[in-house]
Amino acid sequence: MPHILGYARVSTDDQDLAGQRQRLESVGAFRIFEDVISGKTFERPGLAELLHYIRPGDTLAVVRLDRLGRSLRELLDVVETLKKQGVALLSLEEKIDTSSAAGELVFHVFGAIAQFERRLIAERTRDGMTAARAKGRKPGRPPLDQEKLNAAMLLMKAGIPPTKAARQIGLGRSTLYREIQANSKA
């Protein structure tokens, strides 16, 4: 008997899978596979387990297409794998159901539009950086203020958490964590 199987993914431990679980259960998901991992990596144990578990006639349900993959190529690869296994894809947010020819067409059109949008953004960014250079500006991240970094490191040695130290000194939290990680490797 065919089943609806759910896949839920969040990028960090700070995020909650409960909302995705609830929506997948509301459409009758028999079992939900989960990952807490960035979309940047395509090695997702939960998705791999789901693809191994799923059977012909089943439907894979996701809340949004971006839970399956960040790029059009990733999404198309997953959908092609599902198609070869005789499995349909159901995306709740985009209202896509690839069990029909029309649903499959809509999926490919949405995917192509998303890819087009990403390329337009990249082109605009490159154009903006070229224009900034032409005006004598240096686009990109400003150079790290070593004095601020040293002050933040001293605060952390005094027992202040990195996030609070970064805020007090006026450094970005991610900048401080990046530097901590770089210094630990050195």
- Give the active site residue among 11, 26, 38, 99: 11
Rounded CA-CA distance 134/129 in Å is 9
Helix residue spans in the chain (DSSP H): 18-26, 45-53, 72-84, 101-134, 146-157, 162-169, 173-185
Nearby residues of 37 by Cβ (< 8 Å), 6 or more positions away: 9, 11, 43, 44, 45
Whether residue 11 lies in the annotated active site: yes
The answer to whether 89 and 72 are in contact (CB under 8 A) is no
Measured N-to-C along each axis, helices 162-169 and 173-185 cross at an angle, to the nearest 10 degrees, of 120
User: Tokens 């070593």, residue?
Assistant: 146
Q: Among all residues, which ones are annotated catalytic? A: 11
